[in-house]
Amino acid sequence: MDHNRKLYIETVGCQMNMLDSELVVAALRRHGYELTSDVQEADTVLFNTCSVREHAEHKIYSQLGRLKYSKRRRPKQVIGVLGCMAQKDQELIFQRAPHVDLVVGTGQLSEVPRMIDEARAGSRRAVAVSLSRKEGTRSEVSESFQSYDPLREPAMRPSPFQAFVRIMIGCDKFCTYCVVPMTRGPEQSRPPADIAAEVRVLAEQGVKEITLLGQTVNSYKYTENGSLVRLSELLARIHDTPGIDRIKFVTNYPRDMTDDLLFAVRDLPKVGRYLHVPAQSGSNDVLKIMKRGYTVEQYLEMHDRIREVMRDCAVSSDFIVGHPGETEAEFEKSIDLVRRCRFKNSFIFKYSPRPGTKAFDNYPDDIPEDVKRRRNNVLLDIQNAISEEDNASFIGREVEVLVEGPSKSSRKADEEPSANGPIQLVGRTPCDRIVVFDGNPRLAGTLTNVAVFDCTQTTLIGSIVTREVQHGSGSLLPILA
């Protein structure tokens, strides 16, 4: 066991990566490591990486480039690249960054402690990755992507009260632009009993909000004693875990948004009425080239069904603009879809060609960067205006907020010794809207009612509602604090 080793870890990408980093840190802490935010004093430097867009990879490569000099000064420093880029680029990483010691794919993260020890003992350029999707049978490839979930590390969570729980790994949808089926391997759902046990452990550690994770989380399916457990059933099974106040799940795939799931969201009070269901495009021609597996009409049918079951359910989306061959008219159909669905918010991405994908092999990246940028800005402006109108409809209403803690701005103010006065807190509504309000930091981790009096495109602004029992009548009188 190493004592007082210092670990610096940087994580980019999705929530799945944040969870993976939490688990790697938990394992390394058991090996005597402690975290540092100073890369200079670290004896182990890890990057947990993302390959979804080229930009994310460039950033990591330039960070790695900078480490070349610190490694010269400290030859014992171990540098590791983990996650999606490791699985995708493998040995290529050593060509571009010769001072890297280990490359560990998404399916081998349990090997990290051992590989760091070996690197420190002098072994060079170790690689642990899973089979590529064509290198074996489905079960061989699946087995080479190990699920990695048992250990947890509270210090790495978004907040002490919120935790991610993986319910499945991988993806089998093979959208033509997307690298995830390669970097995360075949779709595999975890046994419901394991998931329920993990939720119980987290609840005992003080977690109030669970976010179930899967690349296509609503495709979850697990056969147990001959019968199929789907996400709706899984939600019902974990719903009554003592201590858990809220349950969310991301990311959904439009075609798997079945009625049983919508009814579960409607009927289980702890499940937030919030569905992230990426549409990607509003054009049938583009959706077809993307091989998304649905038409705009089918997406709209699904969206109408959500609204029919829960009028107040927030729906958010992802869009890709500038996909190869996307005409102006096709782009405008994405605008139409945003206007029609009035998403709570949308994440909008410029198409990024990814080696190893069908789109990369078959379609030239023919939309100029300035056109992609313009389309991105136009769609974002339209979405932001809708988000603000939507948020404005909350003004004058009361919302239930799970308090996460001091907001970013009050955390900054706190660093200045002269700062005093009320503290701004941040939290979220059950429909995933961000709320800021003044209050006592000790409210963190509680459910609190907030009256909304203002908003921005991204945030509701309010004040805590305190209730007083009126003598005689016994009724509750809301008083705005």
Query: Residue 322's closest CA among 177, 479, 170?
Result: 177
Among positions 163, 178, 380, 464, the unique one binding ligand SF4 when judged by CB under 6 A: 178
Q: How many residues bind ligand SF4 (CB under 6 A)?
A: 10
Contacts with 415 (C-beta within 8 Å, 6 or more apart), sequence order: none
Asked if 171 touches ligand SF4 (CB under 6 A), the answer is: yes
* Cβ atoms of residues 348 and 374 within 8 Å: no
Q: Is 266 in the site for ligand SF4 (CB under 6 A)?
A: no
Site string for ligand 5AD, 343-382 (x = CB under 6 A): ------x-xx-x----------------------------
Which H or E run includes 297? helix 296-309
Q: The tokens of 319 are what?
A: 């869009």
* Residue 181 vs 186, nearer CB to ligand SF4: 181
Q: Would you say 80 or 278 has its CB closer to ligand 5AD?
A: 278
The DSSP secondary structure of 88-106, one letter per residue, reads HHTTHHHHH-TT--EEE-T
Using CB under 6 A as the binding rule, whether residue 253 contacts ligand SF4 is answered as yes
Q: Find the binder of ligand 5AD among 278, 282, 439, 462 (CB under 6 A).
A: 278
Cα–Cα distance for residue pair 287/294, rounded to 1 Å? 7
User: In angstroms, rounded to a whole number, what is the distance separating the alpha carbons of residues 480 and 264?
Assistant: 34
Using the rule CB under 6 A, give the single segment among 32-40, 170-178, 302-310, 403-411 that binds ligand SF4. 170-178
∠ CA 400-406-409, nearest 5°, is: 115
Of the pair 181, 439, the CB lying nearest ligand SF4 is at 181
The alpha carbon torsion through 351, 357, 360, 363 (nearest 10 deg) reads -90
- Residue 251: asked if its preceding bond is cis (omega within 30°), the reply is yes
Find the binder of ligand 5AD among 5, 53, 152, 230 (CB under 6 A): 53
Nearer to ligand 5AD, 209 or 326 (CB): 326
49 binds, among ligand 5AD, ligand SF4, none (CB under 5 to 8 A by kind): none
CA distance 338 to 332: 10
Contact of 338 with 282, CB cutoff 8 Å:
yes
Residue from the set 47, 145, 161, 177 that interacts with ligand 5AD by CB under 6 A = 177
216 binds, among ligand 5AD, ligand SF4, none (CB under 5 to 8 A by kind): ligand SF4
By CB under 6 A, tell whether 180 contacts ligand SF4. yes
Query: How many chain residues bind ligand 5AD (CB under 6 A)?
Result: 12
Grouping H, G, I as helix, E, B as strand and the rest as coil, residue 345 is coil
List the single partner that 181 binds among ligand 5AD, ligand SF4, none, CB under 5 to 8 Å by kind.
ligand SF4
Residues 159 and 444: beta-carbon distance below 8 Å: yes
Which residues of this protein are in contact with ligand SF4, per CB under 6 A? 171, 173-175, 178, 180-181, 215-216, 253
